[in-house]
Amino acid sequence: MTTVATTKTTLSSLTGGELPRWTPWAVLAAAQALGLVVLGTANLAGAIVSGVVLYLVTIAALSGVVEGRRKATDRLVTSLVVAAFVIATVPLVSVTWTALSLGLRRFDAVFFTHSMAGVVGEGGGALHAIIGTLLITLAATVISVPIGLMTSIYLVEYGRGPLARVITFFVDVMTGIPSIVAGLFAYALFSMMFGPGHRSGISGAVALSVLMIPVVVRSSEEMLRIVPNELREAAYALGVPKWLTIVKVVLPTCIAGIMTGVVLAIARVIGETAPLLLTAGYIANMNYNLFADRMTTLPLFVFTTYRNSGGTDVTDLDRAWAGSLVLILIVLALNLAARLIARYFAPKTGR
């Protein structure tokens, strides 16, 4: 504590007391050590938590004595924020670690080249589920993007008065629709058209579109609103009709943002399980046809194999984890793609 003493003696009107830079770390280590000693390694979580609490109290008190109230508050809040951040990352790290360690067991060539058709016991794969996920999500995107984009263009560029307000309201409502309701809607729609108990990839895609459209509308609307009015006026002043202004000036200016929004919307629906349970169903065989018969997606593959395992069968559990890992990787790839798109298509300043 000699440093502390010296800083105290050199107090002037501008310099306050200051704890050495290593103090927080030292206090943290000491607090954790104390927690471990008192509570033992048997109750590891309890030891860590009480260590953190002890650290918060000690650092605040220490800083309060040496540095004054403002710095003490600063240190306390900083520590709380860091603690909150660490707590928030714990589930993420845990999920990633579990999915990786368990998922890698069946992350093999067979898994990516075989369906579950006729598989009893070992082997089998998720090719049918991967294909199903890609096809259904692609179909959902093909349905949602034009509808969502045009709605947002209407809202931003043309919409005035009650109709626009009503649409905005319903888009808000749609954003909050529970996914199972979207599934029921698509199920009811297709049952009405093709008879009860109808199952097909396309009905799953319709269910996903119901979830995706409001997300696309919202994100594109935001992007379209960012485009400065000056650019529209510049185009109008050149005698460019409104629709050409939208197509050739407004959209190219914000295309990066719109595409990013679309990719994130895809990432948002690709993991949906409940609506697909009702609409696309589950099948062990390959099905490349969106318009006939059941079609498996990865979330359903995971769900079904887990259910089949009864919670104990390791072959099925490993398949389920491998399926989860593939899904996580696809979402990861989509997020990465969104970033690349944003960077690649953004207007360049050239300075």
Partner 1 sequence: MSKRIDVADLNVYYGKFRAVEDVTMTIEPRSVTAFIGPSGCGKSTFLRTLNRMHEVIPGAYVEGTVTMDGENLYGPGVDPVRVRRQIGMVFQRPNPFPTMSIKENVLAGVTLNNRRMSASDKEELVERSLRGANLWEEVKNRLGLPGSGLSGGQQQRLCIARAIAMAPDVLLMDEPCSALDPISTLAIEDLIGELKANYTVVIVTHNMQQAARVSDTTAFFNIAGTGAPGKLIEMDHTEKIFHNPSQKATEDYITGRFG
Q: Residues in the site for partner 1, rule: CB under 8 A?
A: 160, 228, 230-241, 244-245, 248-249, 252-253, 347-351
* Closest distance of CB 350 from partner 1, Å: 3
Task: Indicate the residue among 21 and 351 with the shorter CB distance to partner 1.
Answer: 351
* Closest distance of CB 335 from partner 1, Å: 25
* Closest distance of CB 160 from partner 1, Å: 6
Q: Which phi-psi region, left, alpha or beta, contains residue 35 (left: φ > 0; alpha: ψ -120 to 50)?
A: alpha
Closest to 72 measured CA to CA, from 17, 140, 148, 134: 17
Task: Indicate the residue among 21 and 348 with the shorter CB distance to partner 1.
Answer: 348
Q: Are 35 and 56 in contact (CB under 8 A)?
A: no
* Closest distance of CB 171 from partner 1, Å: 21
Q: Are 266 and 327 in contact (CB under 8 A)?
A: no
Task: Indicate the residue among 107 and 345 with the shorter CB distance to partner 1.
Answer: 345
Task: Indicate the residue among 121 and 350 with the shorter CB distance to partner 1.
Answer: 350
* Closest distance of CB 216 from partner 1, Å: 22
> Rounded to whole angstroms, how far apart are CA atoms 56 and 28?
9
Task: Indicate the residue among 245 and 279 with the shorter CB distance to partner 1.
Answer: 245
> Rounded to whole angstroms, how far apart are CA atoms 307 and 283?
14
Q: Are 216 and 261 in contact (CB under 8 A)?
A: yes
Q: Are 338 and 166 in contact (CB under 8 A)?
A: no
Tokens 């207007």 belong to 347
> Rounded to whole angstroms, how far apart are CA atoms 128 and 201?
12
Task: Indicate the residue among 166 and 234 with the shorter CB distance to partner 1.
Answer: 234
Task: Indicate the residue among 130 and 149 with the shorter CB distance to partner 1.
Answer: 149
Tokens 């938590």 belong to 49
* Closest distance of CB 233 from partner 1, Å: 7
Angstrom CA distances, 161 to 58, 148, 204, 232, 286, stand at 60, 20, 35, 21, 50
Note every long-range contact of 304-308, with CB atoms under 8 Å and residues 24 or more positions apart, other chains counting.
none
* Closest distance of CB 237 from partner 1, Å: 4
Task: Indicate the residue among 256 and 330 with the shorter CB distance to partner 1.
Answer: 256
Closest to 211 measured CA to CA, from 169, 255, 269, 166: 269
Number of other residues whose CB lies within 10 A of the CB of residue 302: 23
* Closest distance of CB 99 from partner 1, Å: 40
Q: Are 59 and 30 in contact (CB under 8 A)?
A: no
